[in-house]
Amino acid sequence: MDDQSNLPPLPSSTPQSLTPKFGIPQAIFSGLVIIAVSIYISFGMPNRNVASVTPPPQVGGETRVKNTAVSADDDPVLGEAKAPVTIIEFSDFQCPFCRKFWRETLPEIKKNYIDSGQVKLVYRDFPLPMHPAAEISAEAGECADDQGKFWDWHDKLFSEQDKDGESTVQYEVSDIKKWGNEIGLNTSQFTACLDSQKFKDEVAKDVADGQAADVAGTPMFFVNGTMVRGSQPFSNFQKIIDEALKTK
């Protein structure tokens, strides 16, 4: 998963100027260089499946961390309220990895678990500073939820960006308002909600709750308390969901 192509090659010999200056034998110096590069490879490389403020921690090479407490708050829910397994997603509407999850993995989770009442998905906002339209998009989602159309908005926003490929797509507030109109939102109500920043504090609370639960990037998921990092394939979620269902 990690891309090591940009790492500098290990030196074939110790520079002569370093050995006499520090009194370090060549074999020991070379060994220290190897250890340093190994540590960088293991812990310093970002996860390609996560858009991160800081690289997410690696825990024994796993993509999940067990028993992390996180609240669902009062955020939008897809599925039955009484479903035995809850997936809490922290997401950024401008994050290409979040879009990848929406495109490739969510449909399988919905078909196999959400539609049958076994799983519900809770969407929480975690707009990253690197994405200039992420904050207003999150607030727009809350405004759409105010009209009972959050999931229409969710799908519309990702589908519009998906037309432009895999990268982060830039768009304006005017695009957001246009897309809101296209999914049937009351345009004047939606515009007033956006312009007043009615849900700015709600989005900030989601971010604070995510940070308290060690969310460092998007997408991040909690499956009945088990953290899953990044846009993982359906098979990875399937294993964790099935484990959670066995305990119910």
pLDDT digits (tens, 9 = 90+) for 134-189: 999 999 999 999 999 999 999 999 999 999 877 888 999 999 999 999 999 999 99
pLDDT > 70 fraction of the chain, expressed in percent and rounded: 73
pLDDT at 241: 97
Query: 177, 169 in Cβ contact below 8 A?
Result: no
pLDDT tens readout for residues 198-211: 999 999 999 999 99
Q: How far apart are CA 159 and CA 188, in angstroms?
A: 23
pLDDT tens readout for residues 223-244: 999 999 999 999 999 999 999 9
Query: 2, 45 in Cβ contact below 8 A?
Result: yes
Domains parsed from the chain with CATH numbers: 1-45 (no CATH), 64-246 (3.40.30.10)
Question: Which tokens in the block code for residue 220?
Answer: 């991040």
pLDDT > 90 fraction of the chain, expressed in percent and rounded: 67
pLDDT at 73: 87
- Whole-number Cα distances in Å, 58 to 54, 208, 229, 235, 243: 12, 22, 10, 20, 22
Query: 184, 151 in Cβ contact below 8 A?
Result: no
Q: Is the pLDDT of residue 61 over 90?
A: no
Q: How far apart are CA 92 and CA 45, in angstroms?
A: 21
The partner residues of 82 in beta bridges, in order of sequence, read none
Q: How far apart are CA 121 and CA 159, in angstroms?
A: 19
